[in-house]
Structure 1
């Protein structure tokens, strides 16, 4: 496999669940330890999760059945492909089913309320139709301070029992309807609660003040009230029919999807049904975690070779649902720069690993800012022979990576220093004057910055295309268009530097391309930030300019390293010549002057070596983090830490 050029991908992970008998859990753990490839997240009575999953699936199944039972006389042939069976996850099915179920339940609730209204209207009508049509409702459903009235309907024996129970009741109207009596009762208000309770116990239907006041006016006659009740009855009946039709249409629209969901859920239930039957004995333990895809067969074979009864389940992670741990796998040398990336944060499993481009970038930036053979060799030797003394465990993986990264970056500095011909600030020869000429060095730094920043924006565009973020796609596209047309225009009109032998008259047309790019920027900013985008798009251009100018620190720190070294050299030479002229003794002046020169050189170049190492590291980190990774990198992942047997470890007791 070819090495990654720009970015890499974390190692592909699978979710693995292994269920073993409880008395063999220690042996199963030992197998996983020996394999050293499983990042265990859950252990113990995790089988209960399968019970929850089973209950969850049954709940979904019941909802689907409930929804589909609302339609009748429908024949449905449902077929589920293997791809649909694997790709349609339970979360999506549950979300869709809950959404449909909520809509259906809302309509059923409305139908229930309307049907309840019909029943109440029926109850009123069954009493009012047997009362004189010219009676006013306020007379037959009156509630006063001392006297009240009520219209009732019940059996003949019940009416007699009611009258005998309450001496304060007077029948002012009575009509027999088959086996029932419709009557208007006038009674003392102080027995109202007892009367209502008795009517309910005897099974009477009745019209009281509160119920009828919500449906008709108390100033209506019985005839007018019946007309209004009939109108309301027809209205509610029509609403019920319309709601039932909408309910059927809604379910029919989703019927095929619901049928597929039903099949998928039933299959999922069957997958764990046998396992749950075994679980009733409570002798099973779940070991659950993440494993690199290429190691699945190794672990399963290990269990089979040990003759352990086990059940296992392996599946791919689902984006948006699962967040597997991150295991980086980069080629040698590039791998050493993982420590730089980890300073900002480990990449999430779902994002790119930027270690390759960071390795190239950091080594180049560090080497350019070092750019001196003497200081590069001094840093390499310090890393090899001295740096170990400042850490508690010099054999730790992260430290070894960091140390090797410093050595490799310093070797790059040694190579660039060989091109410039500088050793501890002294120019021995000149192969190129780019690194000693401030203007040329600055131009080189800005060109490097322009390329590096645009790689970052290209990765941002690729990420936006991958995740379909329209606003970011428009912003990055607009930025590239503006650069393509704007940079030649600025170079020619402001710096009088034509490029590509372009005819002079063509430069004016470049502005049209710039305006198109700005249009993309404005639309993208509006898409991302709304009205505020009308102002914020400008910061995309100024941000690009600021990012590129930030790379001028390459020239600044690089020149500072050379000039500061040269300054110490001149200072040492001045000290030598000054002391030589001040001391009259011929041999003594050379010894004292030479000693002072050596002290200044050693002390000065030690300081400059430390400053070069520290400054190069800090500014390289800044360029990689702020100007580059901040555009597209999240770095919120967590490390893959497999269960393994540790055979060696250094303990430090302080």
Structure 2
């Protein structure tokens, strides 16, 4: 659908032009370079990269610089960005940021330790251990005894005193010159330490002050974030340039850059070659070659590329499922949510972050996806009449309720029909990709099995249904193999193909999760509403407060579970069940050789 057609090109130039041409190609950003006889998968320890990094950051590694950038970018408040000047020193700045980060970590660890020590020591009270001379050689030993074992202390022959008791423990102090034997008391000794409670609390207050100071320093350093990002981007660009230099074929007088380029970009590349006095060889991919996959979709549905990219990228000669996955994911998410109120919350959250998401291309993709999810959720929520688990608030919205989510039979039927339609589309697309080959008839046979089986389930089995399925199974046996000839291997492949019957049945039933999760979400919303109402009726005075708390906490929990379920299972039905029947081969991504773009921070 939207897989870009590529051309293989060779750019040939004089050896003295190599570096300048590669630098301009990187600025052009159109080529997916193919290394000529050299390994392009060089890691960050590459010698040329180390030289480049040293020139920009001194003794600081690029990995340290990336960590510094991430640390500053996560700052809660980022200062207005500074411009490059004589005072900007990347090495010194990275060192300061990393020292600040380590201080923040150490102080956080110290704060957590002090909070735990104070919580453990508070039941014993604020005390200081006396000197040994003050007790004439006697010592204090502390024991935290569970209440159900406190009666065992009556049998202890030592001098002891209970100093505190709560709902679980009695806090006992034993006076003895040496530590009592391990079996002398019901529990092991508690270590309280030698520092008093008031001293620990003072240390905690000072730790909070130190943390505030570190955060102030971090915020101050954040004004150099753009400069640091820009410097780091330049280092990465130099690394990619050195890597490309290693990957070109070269002789004493000539060099050759081999790459893939989109057909639409060929005119611009031809102009580039003429401008630099380069020879350009251009051809279409050969049958045995496996070019990278370059997807191109409109901005409004480009997020579909991100949805499929982390799981399975189609091969160059396959088809692009990103648009179909984009819309089917939105539909599945809406069915799982089944509440217009929750969809409205998503829309409100999107409106709040709309401008911020529009600052980057990835943010615009996410924005379009979330808008589609919210729209689909609102439409389906209105059709099922779900508004935070309550009935439609007006008669007009009630008239729009056409689906009863509590009608188990109808909802199960709808889920099965959705699954069959989704898998029919998958097999039809697979059949189209196998056109002009006998193998395509196997995909057609699976389409027949799906449609005829659904018809028989919705009505009743007839001889016509049985005959159609039998014919389809025969086609599966005969046409499941992609090999030519009618030898033994074809029959074995055909019989193995029949084993997909159980997988097909299981995949169709997987779509029942749409109904099950949608019903669970709606039922939880109703349950929280009923629980809140019952509490309000049972407690006339504080009932309103508990009513509000139960609604807020309950619906927040249900909303979170619904969104997580919608994302996970909505993607799962597309990336597993659907892809199993529609995508045969996996490809690799088209990675353009280009300079990094650094977007200035707007604060």
- The TM-score by the shorter chain falls in which range? 0.5 to 0.7
2:514 is aligned to 554
Number of equivalences: 381
1:417 is aligned to 381
2:267 is aligned to 297
8 Å contact 2:477–2:491 — kept in the other structure?
Answer: no
Distance 1:43 1:630 in 2: 35
So what's the TM-score if we normalise by structure 1? 0.53
Distance 2:494 2:258 in 1: 50
| 1:387–1:545 CA distance, 2 compared to 1 (3 A) | farther
| 1:29–1:427 CA distance, 2 compared to 1 (3 A) | same
SS in structure 1 of the partner of residue 539 of structure 2: helix
| 1:44–1:397 CA distance, 2 compared to 1 (3 A) | farther
Distance 1:280 1:12 in 2: 28
1:115 is aligned to none
1:21 is aligned to 14
Counterpart among 32, 36, 40 of residue 33 in structure 2? 40
Counterpart among 318, 324, 328 of residue 351 in structure 1? 318
So what's the TM-score if we normalise by structure 2? 0.58
Using the TM superposition, give the Cα deviation of residue 369 of structure 1 relative to its aligned residue in structure 2, in angstroms.
1.2
Q: Is 1:452–2:402 an aligned residue pair?
A: no
8 Å contact 2:8–2:260 — kept in the other structure?
Answer: yes
Using the TM superposition, give the Cα deviation of residue 311 of structure 1 relative to its aligned residue in structure 2, in angstroms.
1.5
SS in structure 1 of the partner of residue 12 of structure 2: strand
Counterpart among 522, 542, 545 of residue 477 in structure 2? 522
1:335 is aligned to 302
Distance 2:37 2:419 in 1: 53
Between 1:595-604 and 1:517-526, the stretch displaced more is 517-526
8 Å contact 1:366–1:410 — kept in the other structure?
Answer: no
1:563-620 Cα shifts (integer Å, max 9, x gaps): 111111111111111112xxxxxxxx1xx21111111111111111111110011111
| 1:533–1:282 CA distance, 2 compared to 1 (3 A) | closer
SS in structure 2 of the partner of residue 14 of structure 1: strand
1:400-433 Cα shifts (integer Å, max 9, x gaps): 4235323321221011112222211111153213
Structure with greater helix share of residues? 1
Distance 1:284 1:441 in 2: 69
Counterpart among 570, 573, 588 of residue 530 in structure 2? 570
Between 1:379-388 and 1:353-362, the stretch displaced more is 379-388
| 1:645–1:531 CA distance, 2 compared to 1 (3 A) | closer
Using the TM superposition, give the Cα deviation of residue 14 of structure 1 relative to its aligned residue in structure 2, in angstroms.
0.9
1:316 is aligned to 284
Using the TM superposition, give the Cα deviation of residue 12 of structure 1 relative to its aligned residue in structure 2, in angstroms.
1.1
| 1:31–1:280 CA distance, 2 compared to 1 (3 A) | closer
8 Å contact 2:536–2:544 — kept in the other structure?
Answer: yes
Distance 1:478 1:45 in 2: 46
8 Å contact 1:576–1:594 — kept in the other structure?
Answer: yes
Distance 1:566 1:352 in 2: 43
SS in structure 2 of the partner of residue 313 of structure 1: strand
SS in structure 1 of the partner of residue 318 of structure 2: coil
| 1:515–1:309 CA distance, 2 compared to 1 (3 A) | closer
Using the TM superposition, give the Cα deviation of residue 352 of structure 1 relative to its aligned residue in structure 2, in angstroms.
0.9
| 1:578–1:325 CA distance, 2 compared to 1 (3 A) | same
Distance 1:302 1:280 in 2: 20
Using the TM superposition, give the Cα deviation of residue 487 of structure 1 relative to its aligned residue in structure 2, in angstroms.
4.1
8 Å contact 2:427–2:444 — kept in the other structure?
Answer: no
Distance 1:613 1:387 in 2: 19
Distance 1:615 1:370 in 2: 8
2:568 is aligned to 618
For structure 1, the 5+ residue unaligned runs are 1-7, 47-278, 495-506, 581-588
Distance 2:250 2:538 in 1: 96
Distance 2:38 2:547 in 1: 75
| Superposition pairs of residues 200-239 of structure 1, within 5 angstroms | none
Distance 1:615 1:45 in 2: 46
For structure 2, the 5+ residue unaligned runs are 40-248, 484-488
Distance 1:633 1:288 in 2: 29
Distance 1:395 1:541 in 2: 48
| 1:509–1:324 CA distance, 2 compared to 1 (3 A) | closer
Distance 1:280 1:408 in 2: 50
Distance 2:36 2:481 in 1: 49
| 1:475–1:416 CA distance, 2 compared to 1 (3 A) | same
SS in structure 1 of the partner of residue 286 of structure 2: coil
| 1:570–1:31 CA distance, 2 compared to 1 (3 A) | same
Distance 1:525 1:44 in 2: 38
Distance 1:538 1:546 in 2: 14
SS in structure 2 of the partner of residue 452 of structure 1: helix
| Superposition pairs of residues 462-611 of structure 1, within 5 angstroms | 462-465=432-435, 468=437, 470=438, 472-493=439-460, 507-524=462-479, 532=492, 536-580=496-540, 589=541, 592-611=542-561
SS in structure 2 of the partner of residue 379 of structure 1: helix
1:446-485 Cα shifts (integer Å, max 9, x gaps): 111111111111122223335x3x4x43432333344454
1:494-527 Cα shifts (integer Å, max 9, x gaps): 6xxxxxxxxxxxx434433332222223334588
Distance 1:368 1:633 in 2: 25
1:213 is aligned to none
Over the aligned positions, Cα root-mean-square deviation in angstroms equals: 3.1
SS in structure 2 of the partner of residue 312 of structure 1: strand
1:318-340 Cα shifts (integer Å, max 9, x gaps): 1222x222221112322122111
| 1:280–1:450 CA distance, 2 compared to 1 (3 A) | closer
8 Å contact 1:482–1:516 — kept in the other structure?
Answer: no
Distance 2:506 2:4 in 1: 36
Whose Rg is larger? Answer: 1
| 1:21–1:432 CA distance, 2 compared to 1 (3 A) | same
Distance 1:526 1:30 in 2: 49
